Amino acid sequence: MAYEDTPVPVSQSQAAINKILLKHKVLGVSWTSNVRPVRSEGINFSIEQDGRVFTIRVVAHPKSSDPQEDRRIYRVLFYHIKGMFEAIDSKVLTFQEVFLPFVVTNSGKTVAEEMLPQFAALGAPPGLDRQLQEPKK
């Protein structure tokens, strides 16, 4: 797994993420850490885009309660968030394309949390993948 041996403390990764977010003029940041019902670590932040304020939630689910796992999770979050903003800054992707899954909706869930139960239905019709792979005779 990526960064499984990282010596970088969680606080240093969080500080680096805060620096990226402040550069992009976020309105507020809060860190989350939950033990139940499912262990999770993550961040919520608010950012203005096109005259509207969006709350963004990025959450990861550590595989264990080992402090090394927390260090790994926060390094992954750092590089993930850094990459998201680099894609926007370099105009490879738009804000909407990058952050849509992480936008918190009126229900309190992210767009991804609302859509994931329906994800399987979005795939290709059964058998289409075989048709595309089989050469025609």
The pTM of this model reads: 0.84
pLDDT in tens, 64-103: 999 999 999 999 999 999 999 999 999 999 999 999 999 9
pLDDT at 125: 65
pLDDT at 126: 66
Helices 67-89 and 10-23, axial angle in degrees (round to 10): 20
pLDDT at 95: 97
pLDDT at 116: 87
The domain spans of the chain are 10-133
pLDDT at 128: 56
Segment (H or E) for 106: none
pLDDT along the chain (137 residues), means of 10: 91 98 97 91 96 97 93 97 98 97 97 87 64 52
pLDDT at 122: 75
pLDDT at 124: 61
Question: Can you spell out the DSSP letters for 27-83?
Answer: SEEEEEEE-SSS-EEEEEEEEEETTEEEEEEEEE--SSS-HHHHHHHHHHHHHHHHH
